[in-house]
Amino acid sequence: TDCNTHPDGQRGVASKRQAEQMLPTTAPRGASSARRGLWLLLLSPLGVLAKPKTNILTEPPGDACPPSCATNELLDLLDQYCSDKGTFWQSKHHYGTAYHSLFGSLRHSITSILEIGIGEDTAPSVQAWATYFPRAHVYPVDIKTKTEVSDRARPGGATERLAKHQAQFGCEHNFSMWDNPRIHLTLETDASDPAQLQRVALPPELDIILDDGSHRYLDQQRTLHTLWPRLRAGGFYIIEDMLVGALPWDSRHAEQVPTKNSECGAECFFPQRLEEHPFLFDRFGHLKGAHAPKVPLELRTKELLRKHDWFWVVTGVHQGGGLDCSLVIRKRGPPIGLQPLPAALPAPGGSASAAP
């Protein structure tokens, strides 16, 4: 998500207190003793020191890890790369708590994942997926232009400066990540435009599709119906950030979905309560009058939800009642782990996949 920019347009933290709240308790994974010393020097101006890393599989964190920290391997990776799907960076969504419970036993069966939206140019979740799913090809799609991404990727450019800033908090960035043969970046693609999305070079079927794009309700429906035919039977379609901000977009979104949220300050988003969101499918028509969404679900979306399995993931709460929410839809069919694996990993097709 692009929520990693503060409402005032400034990245990073504004105070030592905020830095301490955001700081992970460790230097990067696998760091040598000399490298750990470097991280300690980087962190010392903030008045805090990195603690030795524990193995979360054999030494699960206890109460001594305030206010939150990684409790599984996926959260550990998301924190390693400074993803807001993790436990400490910016929005701190903790989505890895839910996703690891879904995919932990499928890690070696997943061969393809598509993610709409890379967020910042360090693409933290892309790096995490490529590590977490060792057999998977990862297909990130973003609206950014090749020119702007390439310009920021120049030595000394914005991407390098961002990576150095994130390194202060123990995060890593692999500057050669786009050379990974399992990562296939497609830029200049508006995922809410079916024509543009259909031009993306993808395998015939995808195991996981994750929409972390505009977060606009109408865009989410268009993207869902464009990509749904690409999702394999038994695959998972996830729509992120349904109920939480802050998102600095136009006021028309507020008109689409009413909200009763209050006292949320810069974290206001529309809506902030589960019953207000049209994607919480009102099967029995209970929400009427003022409680009914101004823009209801399209008929085709209702039919899709009727025919397939779905549930909401709630992994945290924000000021004013905003929630860290994702909608998970599983396409009917045999579980991925029970299906025969392909003889070879899927290869990218066409020339639409482009890296900076």
Q: Considering the chain, what percentage of its residues have pLDDT values greater than 70?
A: 65
**pLDDT tens per residue, range 136-149:** 999 999 999 999 99
**pLDDT tens per residue, range 58-83:** 455 555 555 678 889 999 999 999 99
Tell me which of 43-47, 57-61, 118-122 is least confident.
43-47
Whole-number pLDDT of residue 122: 92
More confident residue, 256 or 80: 80
Domain range summary for the chain, segments of one domain joined by +:
13-53, 69-338
- Strands 323-330 and 309-317, by their bridges, are antiparallel
Tell me which of 191-195, 323-327, 343-347 is least confident.
343-347
Q: Considering the chain, what percentage of its residues have pLDDT values greater than 90?
A: 51
* Average pLDDT score, the chain: 76
CATH of 69-338, one of 3.30.1490.100, 3.40.50.150, 3.40.50.2300, 3.40.190.10: 3.40.50.150
For 63, the token pair is 């109460």
Q: Is the pTM of this model over 0.85?
A: no
Three-state SS across the chain? CCCCCCCCCCCCCCCHHHHHHHCCCCCCCCCCHHHHHHHHHHHHHHCCCCCCCCCCCCCCCCCCCCCCCCCCHHHHHHHHCCCCCCCCCCCCCCHHHHHHHHHHHHCCCCCEEEEECCCCCCCHHHHHHHHHCCCCEEEEECCCCHHHHHHHCCCCCHHHHHHHHHHCCCCCCCCCHHHCCCECCECCCCCCCHHHHHCCCCCCCEEEEEECCCCCHHHHHHHHHHHHHHEEEEEEEEECCCCCCCCCCCCHHHHHCCCCCCCCHHHCCCCCCHHHCCCCCCCCCCCCHHHCCCCCCCHHHHHHHHHCEEEEEEEEECHHHCEEEEEEEECCCCCHHHCCCCCCCCCCCCCCCCCC
Find the length of the chain.
Answer: 356
Whole-number pLDDT of residue 10: 29
